[in-house]
Amino acid sequence: MLDISPSNARVLLKVMNWDHDRLFLEYSDDPVGISKKAGIDINATQMVSGRKGKGECLICLEDSEEITTLTCGHGYCPVCWKKYLEIQIKEKSTNITCPGLNCGKIIDLFIVSQLCGDKDLIDRFNETLIESYVDDNPFVKWCPAPNCKYAIVLSDFKKEHNESVTCLCNHFFCFRCSEIAHEPSFCKQYSSWKIKNSGGDEALNEKFISTISKKCPYCKKPIEKTGGCNHMHCANCGFHFCWQCMGKFGIGPMGDNSGYSNHVCNAYAKEDSKQLSDTEDWERFRWYAERYNNHQKSKELEAKLLDRVVRVRTNLQEQHCVSWTGSQFFLDGIYQLLAARTILMGSYVFGYFRPIDCPHIHKELFEHRQRQLEQHTELLSNCLEIEDTTQIHLKKSEFLNKTRLVENSYKSLIDVANNAFVETNK
């Protein structure tokens, strides 16, 4: 489109922080000016001029039969070329310029490879170019997961939105701040939450411990949470209750499974207020933190479902003639479940800060969307905990439907918060 060499295009894009539209506009207006700024000559390709000939090396000042001269007129012997390029590559320079005094012309990448003559150095230089592309490009990020070497390209990154992305290693993180995904909360909210949630408050620590073990509210028998679903059924007395609020789950004197559609415990009872005493603020924070920690604990427990994936898919293949591709729904359901837990954690961070940061967001609407996601998440979690392979096979359509409902619900919740992000950043 701009009729320039790939090497020059890379240099210009780097100067423009890899913004293609900006490069096109500025280059169209002033091709000579922007090329001069980037240190390239668009009228001459930086090739080795002619054959290697006899002359004086401008670095060691020794005569040589193999002086290689660039189009800028500066020539050097093979030994000096190699030493110079080796130093530049080891220093991770991505735009290697001619070593001539006050020259500053950038050497074409092809010429660097041609003059270097060392495969290891060339490979190292190419790695540096890739690292530079990722580090300098606002649309590309390295995955922050330990030992992961993948980078993610987000071509439609929007400054007015948080962006949660999933790497090929399945790490789910925020493209903006590289922390774990925390939508719908903003990066600054999540940063403040992390500090507050690790403050060591004794009552808060007790709340966290309670995410692991509680007493049945009916018979008082201790119960340990071993699965991700927050619907609990006491084996001692048969009482159905919600692990988050400890209230009865479902209808009837002992509760039942109907709570998946009618149980509500995600709304903070007190009215919003910007003027809270320290005690009131801590009490409110503990309420949100307990639900955040509950979903975090559920996510940790549900992550163990990944250990079953190979066994379940193998059994489906051997016992029910389901292809490996056809059993992908089970793995997709787990990943969707873990993503939903992450979003729900972020939703309680957002809920805590909402009265201050986003008072224009309708509390009841946000909590309604949040409740929908919680309900569909618990249903999917309950479904994925089925052990019998035959039941999993028979309920494939149910798995797919519940996975789709969770995905649609969390997109709906994110849409509400994205409106808040736009308003906040106007």
User: Residue 180 — φ and ψ, nearest 5°?
Assistant: -60, 150
Q: Which of 174, 229, 245, 358 is catalytic?
A: 229
Cα 142 to its chain centre, rounded Å, is 9
Cα radius of gyration rounded to whole Å, the chain? 30
CA distance 182 to 194: 11
- Who's near 298: CB < 8 A, 6+ residues apart? 228, 229, 230, 341, 381
How buried is residue 279: exposed, middle or buried, by Cβ count under 10 Å (0-12/13-18/19+)? exposed
Q: Are 20 and 137 in contact (CB under 8 A)?
A: no
Q: Which amino acid is at 358?
A: C
For the question of residue 219 being annotated catalytic, the response is no
CA distance 129 to 152: 16
Burial 119-143 (b: 16+ CB within 10 A, else e): eebbebbeebbeebbeeebebbbeb
Q: Quote the tokens at residue 276.
A: 């809270």
CA distance 43 to 413: 54
164 sits in the region (left: phi over 0; alpha: psi -120 to 50; else beta) called beta
Cα 72 to its chain centre, rounded Å, is 45
Q: Are 208 and 293 in contact (CB under 8 A)?
A: yes
Q: Are 365 and 358 in contact (CB under 8 A)?
A: no
Count Cβ atoms below 10 Å from residue 269 Cβ, excluding itself.
5
Q: Quote the tokens at residue 44.
A: 């001459």
Active site residues: 229
